[in-house]
Structure 1
């Protein structure tokens, strides 16, 4: 049995959970939709089961439930991996530690340090540490644009597009480029996504990023500068809009194989 935690942002027109469920149904895989709001993790009755987390609100209650469930079940993605991806600070720290290219970044509560980083780079990008879908991201050009701290700031990399690479089971399986006229290229912020081929450099940096985080599957967001690709962030509950690759089918197959391995 595959237990499924649905993505809370699903809609009838954009239903990631439903797309994977359809693929499970096509091959007769058994599944159960799990409502975390009804689960007491200390008495859940779930043991040695596979739990797939399609999405989760950034909510301590749900993270605690998943953390406890992961003690005696296989959770994909793990709560630790989801939490790491949710924190831009932790993601950046791991990428830097393992030598994966990412824009110059600081996380500081000192306004003097924030101003100095801005002075050094001329333009920087402010991002909420736990933001999603591009919400709250803004360009900072003058010290007066900084706003209240603490500040997670990245150097501004000139661009008119970014790339998302979908990595599943350690392998880059699909990619899109997202184009817009603004700072953010997220689909939810008006970006237009188009499938692209995965080149060797894109594959290498995306797969390395997934390995650094220790995640079963993810969306790795990249920019391209003069030196090549650089990692903006890693998404632990990613969307796969506009990808030509049949991600729901691949995900369903991956979950089935993981559950089969658990039973063998």
Structure 2
């Protein structure tokens, strides 16, 4: 990724203070051919952003040239008058007042936030939210502290020309943090046209992709003119700096992964997983109804809304049967009940937290098919084997680390055609993104168990059958949508 810093004067920032290209806003405006064929990220540090100023035009023309820029002209207009940003103040003031305890006293009359980073860790909550609302390099917040409640009097830009020597030093440190990245290849073979963000949690126990696999993808994507960079849940405010987003944390409607998906969608970015797919796939009640409506074969199922439904489930499904919490992942919240006593005990416990449960006929197999589907077409085929002496592919009941079964990989050509076709039909009911369809293969046919919006994709496992074509097609999925949108 190429970072370009625009300044009002040539000497506003020492060239040796940052590795990034520094030019004046005057030069940027006068030379529209600069960075032709590239997609730089522009940080506009002009001393004035008012309407039709040089700083305003620099951001306006950056947008027309296909360059990502902060601040945008929308942010400049939003901060030009209090009445244009007062809708943000209730949320910001709530976050501000939550900082009081960590600050250990009264608020200062003014505080400065650089790239979403405050003067100390105590300001983290407020600084990140402020940058989330107004993505600008440097902001000044005027505060009125009433003792029990502090209010925001004004939010405005804070130009380099007004910074003290210590503030400028902190600003440059924050700039370095903001533009820093982990997977940089200093010997890039192809100038990057695009930069994709990949949301990861380095500490997740069972991530959908290992960090090593994402590095492998980055090498493939690089050959296609794409840089892949990791971001974490702390980087929501930076999502708009990228061209696309690939979420590689276990998704949930109730955590930050959904907020990242929504933010990317609001910015017009291609995203896997998209919010609608997350909503559809994370709920097993919805999935079962959707599959049945579209004539996709699923196991015999009974919905349980209360104790009166337990006997219906027992009579319809027999024992053992499988009981599921609607919103669960990686075999969690899925239990086998061997008799009515186990069913009643578990259902009673789970119904305290969920209004509905899913009971399904138990279909014993030695493996589950996982067919990957991308953009409505099959991507990979894998058999996930059951964990040792267990009926699921992951045994969470074992003490310590979850126990996973092995796997067998197949080319799509060698996988059973009826399994692949059924998986594609199921995935197309959800959307156009990346899905992992789990199926049971029996003498009576195949049955869709789940459609996962956040499927595993690891080098040496899911890509073994189709090789690098998996990663090429993944990259191309994003590129097609960027080019379709004229990005």
TM-score (norm 1): 0.86
Work out the CA distance in 1 between the residues paired with 2:209 and 2:306.
45
Paired position in structure 1 for 2:224: 27
Deviation of 1:111 (Å): 1.7
Paired position in structure 1 for 2:246: 52
Query: Is 1:161 paired with 2:367?
Result: yes
Paired position in structure 2 for 1:192: 406
Query: Is 1:203 paired with 2:420?
Result: yes
Work out the CA distance in 2 between the residues paired with 1:12 and 1:101.
29
Work out the CA distance in 1 between the residues paired with 2:324 and 2:217.
31
Deviation of 1:185 (Å): 2.0
After superposing the two structures, state which structure 1 stretch, 199-208 or 108-117, moved more.
108-117
Which one of 173, 198, 220 corresponds to residue 379 of structure 2?
173
SS in 1 for 2:298: coil
Deviation of 1:81 (Å): 0.2
Work out the CA distance in 1 between the residues paired with 2:246 and 2:209.
20
Structure ID, larger Rg: 2
| Cα RMSD for the two superposed structures | 2.7
1:13–1:76 Cα change, 3 Å: closer
TM-score (norm 2): 0.49
Q: Does the 8 Å CA contact 1:2/1:255 hold for their aligned counterparts?
A: no
Q: Does the 8 Å CA contact 2:208/2:455 hold for their aligned counterparts?
A: no
Work out the CA distance in 2 between the residues paired with 1:16 and 1:31.
12
1:90-239 to 2 correspondences below 5 Å:
90-122=286-318, 123-146=320-343, 147=346, 148-150=349-351, 151-180=357-386, 181-186=389-394, 189-196=403-410, 197-239=414-456
Q: Deviations over 1:146-173 (max 9, x none)?
A: 2124322111112221110011121112
Q: How many residues align?
A: 261
Work out the CA distance in 1 between the residues paired with 2:364 and 2:257.
38
1:13-92 to 2 correspondences below 5 Å:
15-40=212-237, 46=240, 49-58=243-252, 59-73=254-268, 74-92=270-288
1:186–1:219 Cα change, 3 Å: farther
